[in-house]
Structure 1
Amino acid sequence: MRITLVGSRHFGVATFNMLREHGVEIARVVVHDGEDRLAAAARAAGIDVVVQADPTLVAATEIAPDADLIVTAHSHARISKGALAAAKLGGIGYHPSLLPRHRGIAAVEWTIKEGDPVAGGTIYHLADRMDAGAIAAQEWCFVRKGETARELWERALAPLGLKLLAQVIDFAKTHRTLPAIPQDEQFATKAPALS
């Protein structure tokens, strides 16, 4: 399975390492910043790195030829329709909430702000609308009293994301398809950036 990984920062590198451990070919890494630690990790491994021409959008030309799947890991760029069409299975991403709850850039922060006793993570199909694609995998965890967004992310949500991504990748390798359960729009909430 040939994967184009789009991402950044620590979670991008952790996803990069997990994918390599799961025996998939990372054909290309796409980053918004050529100096990002994910770009450095990919270059050190001899993997092609492309810096997005537009930091808010991944274009079809930036996806590796003959890619089976696009995986996003800490990317805030939209994946264009053309880019999704360039990969046989489209694309998936990890969102640190129980989608459709807390769609948006600050999901973990809104989990804490809303006082949610339960949090979770979702692997979802990349789609036109932000965080609105079908669910491929989902799992929940408790939120500890007094826990900050960063503490929740580091303790539970980042490790959960890697675990769920690995499960979906393994499923895709075996079945050459992805699970897809539509999100229930009546439960959708927004998680815009907090100032």
Structure 2
Amino acid sequence: MRVVFMGTPDFAVPSLVSVAQSGHDLVGVVTRPDRPRGRGQQMQPTDVKAAVVSLGLDVPVLQPESLRDENFYAQLQALEPDLLVVVAFLILPRSVLAIPKLGSVNVHPSLLPKYRGAAPIQWAIMNGETETGVTIFRLSPRVDAGDILIQQKVAIGDDETAGELYERLKVMGAELLIRAIDGMADGSVIAVPQTDAGVSRAPKLEKEDGEIDWSKGAGDIHNLIRGTNPFPGAFTLWRNKLLKVHRAKVDTGMGEAGIVIGADGKRGLVVGTGEGVLALDEVQPAGKKRMSGADFVRGYRIEVGERFG
């Protein structure tokens, strides 16, 4: 099977490696253009393009500014793909979807139809889900709504962050992807249409989505902190400055929402919420490095009764 791979960030790299090492014929890779990054703003390739180079893959790499560009369309057609494999990439226009003989498949880190959208890992944790998974499905003009080929569940750890779950799901996705492609090739995988029952959305997160509302319960805030770690990051105001909160846990006790009820060098920093209390295990004051809650208490002389938010 002639496969063209489409992807950009590091989430797509394990899937690229799996396709390259499979028995299928990887005939091309499509990724975003090089962009200036870092302090020096030097041009840097995408993670997928860097992987093509490091793996020594002898395939053309297409980097269109637009998927509707006529030259890109002609180049993609010339590769004569049987299948497009799309992982963490752009929404494909109908004209591109029509090119491959066997259609296009996508790796999505949720149990579709739940959490359709750009941030399914984050929203699953933020909403307190105890399980999620990976879905390999056929692309259709409707976003994340195509027929399901393979789906596998995975438990979410009580304290697992979005970044940690991301690392697990990108590997799982690569493994399921090859099973799906092999199944398409030999006819052993049967596509199952998605239903509209149980559909939920996972829109892209913005920085403001990480702001802690101390009037909510300790469990909800804990989920917010986990779900926004590492991006966009949970934060609150403290002494009129931004304080990032990287890790926390639900603790025992009661207290007024946003008010420090415990501050010592051993137990650390404990803050009241709308329901229960939260121990802030790892924080980061503006312009400073990350530190434990205990170190924060000692270094900044946090006192019981101080207000956050």
TM-score using structure 1 length: 0.90
**Equivalence for 2:114:** 101
Quickly say closer, same or farther: Cα 1:104–1:187, change in 2 above 3 A: same
Deviations 1:145-170 (A, max 9, x none): 02111111213x11221111010011
TM-score using structure 2 length: 0.58
Q: Which runs of 4+ in 1 moved over 6 A?
A: 55-59
How many pairs were matched up? 192
Q: How does 1:29-178 map to 2 (within 5 A)?
A: 29-34=29-34, 35-43=45-53, 44-54=56-66, 60-64=73-77, 65-75=79-89, 77-155=90-168, 157-175=169-187
Whole-angstrom CA distance in 2 between matches of 1:126 and 1:173: 17
Whole-angstrom CA distance in 2 between matches of 1:114 and 1:37: 29
Contact 1:96–1:122 (Cα < 8 Å) also in 2? yes
Deviations 1:49-78 (A, max 9, x none): 111231699964352532110001221x11
2:190 aligned with 1:179, yes or no? yes
> Per-residue deviation at 1:129?
1.4
> Per-residue deviation at 1:16?
1.6
Whole-angstrom CA distance in 2 between matches of 1:147 and 1:57: 41
Tell me, which stretches of 5 or more residues in structure 2 are unaligned?
35-44, 207-309
Tell me, which stretches of 5 or more residues in structure 1 are unaligned?
none
Amino acid at match of 1:38: V
> Per-residue deviation at 1:97?
0.3
Deviations 1:13-50 (A, max 9, x none): 22121112211111110011242132233353121011
Q: Percent identity?
A: 31
Higher Cα radius of gyration: 2
Classify the secondary structure of the residue corresponding to 1:53: coil
Amino acid at match of 2:22: H
Q: As a proportion of its length, which structure holds more helix?
A: 1
Classify the secondary structure of the residue corresponding to 1:72: strand
